[in-house]
Amino acid sequence: MHEMSLMESVIEIVCDTARQNGATRVKSVRLDVGVLSNVEPDALMFCYEAVRHGTIADEATLEINRIAGEGWCLDCGKTVALEERFGACPDCGRHRVQMTAGDELKIRDMEVS
C-alpha cells in the first residue's frame, strides 16, 4: 500500500511547514487527489488516522478533494474529459491526448494555530 508512505510524507511536510511558520497545532489539511493518480482516498484516510498520532497534526481533520481527469486532444485541439490514463479522446476516438489534470496529489492548504 503506497498510500502509507504518501501520507507519511504529507504529514511530515504539513508539520514541518507549520513549525517553520510558528504554529504549534495543525487544525485541518486539504488534499487534492486526482482520479487518475492511482491513489485510493479511503486508503489515504485510513493511513492518515495511523500516521498523525503523536504529531502536531494529531487532532487535524483531513479533507480530500477529487480532481477530475482532463487532457488536451492534439487532434481536436481542445480540452476533453479523461476517464482513464492514456485513454482515447471521447470526441474523436484517437489516442493523442496529453493529460493535463487528474494525476495530482498535492496539499491544497492547511489551517494552523
The response to whether 53 counts as a known ligand-binding position is no
The response to whether 76 counts as a known ligand-binding position is yes
CB-based contact 58:91 (threshold 8 Å): no
Q: What are phi and psi of 3, to 5 degrees?
A: -60, -30
The response to whether 73 counts as a known ligand-binding position is yes
CB-based contact 96:73 (threshold 8 Å): yes
Amino acid at 1: M
The response to whether 15 counts as a known ligand-binding position is no
Neighbours of 44 (CB within 10 A): 21
Q: Which three cell numbers stand for residue 38?
A: 492511482
Which residues define the annotated binding site for Zn(2+)?
73, 76, 89, 92
Which residues define the annotated binding site?
2, 73, 76, 89, 92
Which residues define the annotated binding site for Ni(2+)?
2
